[in-house]
Chains A and B, each alone.
Chain A
Amino acid sequence: MSPQQPAGRPAGGLISPAENTWCPGCGNFSIEHMMKSAIAELSEEEGIPLENFVLLGGIGCHGKLVDYLNVNSFYGIHGRSVPAATGIRLANPDLKVICHVGDGDIFAEGLDHLIFAAKRNSDITVVVHDNRVYGLTTGQYTPTSPTGFKGRSTPGGITEHPLNPLEVMLATGATHIARGYTKKIRQLKDLFKEAIMHRGFSFVDVLQICATYFNLTDYYNEHAYELREGEVDTGQFESALGKIREWDYDRDAPIPLGTFYSVEKPVYEEKFQALTAGKPDRRALVRKVLEERR
């Protein structure tokens, strides 16, 4: 970012004055800047006021993103941003609610919440900073680390296989599923915009370079490719599943990037909206309930 960029809208003023403490070469920078641009552009193009965006951060290197952007934020606790996000969306349907979570954060500590938010089609966006390692706690394995990964807690190498988070999400009912890569930033921004605008639960797994504990740059550059138009039928469960299974986060295989699945289903928060609409005099309602008990 050039420091001369004008303050205020669109993108320039969204960078906060907080000191950035990510390692040089960390993929989190790409996610930060592409999210910033996605928000700025959506604000311009779709007329969404900037104050209607809310970012939630998990705990880990990834979570710091919410400090770095001048956007409403809920910097919560490890693994638990997703239910808070649903709460926020329940309270105010105008808000665009985006969770920045880590792979340890959401696939280990908070997997239950992720699965249930997908199952209920909560109208939020979950962006996983999937560096396949615990960054902030200095290099342990996570649910997406490949077999054989030697971390500080598993110096002999892990024998278990990683989760394929996209497959988990498809199986549990997510209505929008995508994967990006921090070295393909233009696509990343578009994936963010698409996910935020999707009505319902959006999931974006971002292959994020951890420069310090698990640098997979060469591997990803060799294997990753962008899905072309028509390569997957995003309205089709079977077609999405096939593409999602092309790479299982373990074997050597081509790694497709892009949107795998996107369908419309009823949104969880919708049916609760009517209940609290308007400004009802609830004390009168209490009296009425009591009257009926006489």
Chain B
Amino acid sequence: MTEYSVLIGGKAGEGINTAGLSIAGLFSRLGYRTYMYFDYPSLIRGGHNFAIIRASERTIGAHRTQVDVLLAFDQNSIDNHRQRVHDATTVVYDASQVMRAEGYGLPLDRIVEEEKAPPITGNSAMLGALTRVAGIGREVLEDVIRGSVPAKHLEANLRVAGRGYDAAGDVFTVEPLERPSLPVLTGNEVTGLGLVHGGLESYVAYPMTPTSNLLHFLAGHAEDLAIKVLHPENEISVILMALGLAYAGEKAAVGTAGGGFCLMTEGLSLAGMSEIPVTIVMGQRPGPSTGMPTYTSQTDLHFVLNAGQGEFPRLVVAPGDLAETYAWSATALMLSWRYQVPAIILTDKTLAEGAYSFDVGAIIEPPDPEPVLWDGTGEYRRYARTEDGVSPLAFPGREGAVVKVSSYAHDEIGFTTEAVEGVTALQEKMFRKGESLKAELSTYPTVRSYGPRDAGKTIICWGSEKSACIEAAERFGAQVVQPLVLAPFPARQWKEAMIGAGKVACVENNATGQLARLLRQQGFDPGRPVLKHDGRPFAVDELEARLLEVFA
């Protein structure tokens, strides 16, 4: 398999993320599938940011430790990454900043001064040098820059990129692949598009990494997508506003991370009791508390499964790649409306802020479950008791209907009740709804398997670790099993997928094995834990080494 890895590193504020995306664009132009991991501390200037861009003939969603090209804007970018350099690694560095390095030194200060270009154009010089090193045509470089730089700065960037190209030498040759290029999108962007596919009309959020960029993306495209995007005073307001919108008939979603989700839990419970649909995008990052804001984790599974006082049905999905993110964001929102339950899309920093080649053609369009609407006959009862537990919806403003929703235990109309018969019936109706949701989900691919079924070796994983697991599994000839839905837990599909599983490893980005705990609760053996909890996702080679302990 042909593949290339490039690291670009520098200080915060130097545009490393954007430069990384341009590098991904460069390989994408040539038909390669790309993935970018972006690592940055929670600060605005200084520190050390880096992106690893990996390009391959195949679809990928994880990085490897070693890189073929290292592009260094500062000494840290050399010193912090020695373990990534191998004999054939080419180093390109900013000779105005880096004192100790071997490779192509670009005097970026001088270049931008001579070209009368702003310092940020140094990124284009690096891109130019990479293009040359990788034996890619100059026209591809210019094409990528045209696609990413605003017209005003285009000429300066092209000049500086040319200087970078000329200063480096030919090292290897990336052969163009004869196939169409794919756009590179982040998990956040695709979550937003999936929600709109599912019928989203309003998005409400308070900024919090790793979902802030979902807010920014949707706000930036509010007109293009014909949606409202709202940023109120805090997450309590966020979820209540969304519930108000939904009560009045508008499909709404919210986005946050663990801390904000803490503030939303009373609203989540209100959604459960009042049966008002809401979709919550919950991007995980390492806690407890503020933790490591810009890093990744899978530590909030049990939090979202159990959040909110009282007992009520909910939908929790955890997509692992862009195609799943698109389909399940849409599905979560649609099922939330169909069954009037809160839906949670559980992502993490790796998926939300990671960039991947997005193959729209590979998406299996999800079904379109429709909300159940009142037919206008008889007296309207918001909580009418039905066989499947779902009461037909009407919205305020509808003639002939008085629409009463409530956080109190209530009767069919919505009036408060504490009578034994009334509250029992209410609970039973609510749980019938949960059962109906579960029955419908049995027709969805809620558990996915990859690789040989009869290998006698199985890797279990969820969410963003999926891609690293699929690659690492090949090394062992193992199969990978991934639950996409975590509540209601798809026990039947899980059981089927795990027939003949053999030796089992359960790979998670946390310290206690949260999926493993859920599986045990469901009566399944999760096998041996393979855990990583330093805020970083597994690199493929790192995971392979860890899996050796289980499968050797």
Contacts and interface: CB of A to CB of B under 8 A. Distances in A.
B234 interface: yes
B371 interface: no
A23 interface: no
Contacts of B408: 75
A91 B407 CA distance: 21
Contacts of B242: 87
B225 interface: yes
Interface in A53-73: 54, 59, 64, 66-67, 70-73
Nearest to A76: B407
A116 B237 contact: yes
A32 to B, nearest CB: 15
Contacts of B402: 51, 70-72
A112 interface: yes
Contacts of A71: 402
Interface stretch (A242-250, A253-261, A274-282): A274-282
A74 B247 contact: yes
B225 A289 contact: yes
A116 B232 contact: yes
Nearest to B244: A87
Interface stretch (B38-46, B155-163, B390-398): B390-398
Contacts of A89: 244
A219 B292 CA distance: 56
Interface string B226-269: 11101011101110111111111110100000000000001100
Instruction: Among B184, B199, B202, B242, find the residue whose CB has the most chain A CB atoms closer than 10 A.
Output: B202
Contacts, number: 179
Contacts of B358: 290, 293
Interface string B438-464: 000000000000000000000000000
A74 to B, nearest CB: 5
B401 interface: yes
Given A72-B396, A112-B237, A91 B245 contact: yes
A283 interface: yes
Contacts of A66: 404
A84 B247 contact: yes
A241 interface: no
B512 to A, nearest CB: 32
A116 B231 CA distance: 11
Interface in A116-135: 116
B486 interface: no
Interface in A1-54: 16-18, 49, 51-52, 54
A282 B240 contact: no
A86 interface: yes
Given A51-B401, A75-B407, A90 B230 contact: yes
A18 B416 contact: yes
B197 interface: yes
B497 interface: no
Contacts of A294: 181, 183
A87 B234 contact: no
Contact of A282 (B226, B237, B403): B226
Contacts of A67: 404, 406, 415-416
B201 A87 contact: no
A262 B45 CA distance: 46
A92 interface: yes
Given A18-B416, A282-B226, A87 B240 contact: yes
B225 A290 contact: no
Given A86-B241, A87-B242, A87-B247, A285 B405 contact: no
Given A75-B407, A113-B233, A116-B232, A51 B241 contact: no
B367 interface: no
Given A73-B405, A80-B236, A293-B183, A88 B396 contact: yes
Instruction: Among B181, B266, B402, find the residue whose CB has the most chain A CB atoms closer than 10 A.
Output: B402
5 contacts: A75-B405, A77-B267, A87-B245, A91-B249, A275-B226
Q: Which 3 A-B pairs have the closest CB atoms?
A: A87-B244, A91-B248, A84-B244
Interface of A: 16-18, 49, 51-52, 54, 59, 64, 66-67, 70-77, 80, 83-92, 94-95, 112-113, 116, 272, 275-276, 278, 280, 282-283, 285-286, 288-290, 293-294
Given A72-B402, A85-B244, A275-B228, 16 more contacts: A52-B397, A54-B248, A66-B404, A71-B402, A72-B404, A83-B240, A84-B247, A88-B248, A90-B250, A91-B244, A92-B248, A92-B396, A94-B397, A116-B232, A286-B197, A293-B185
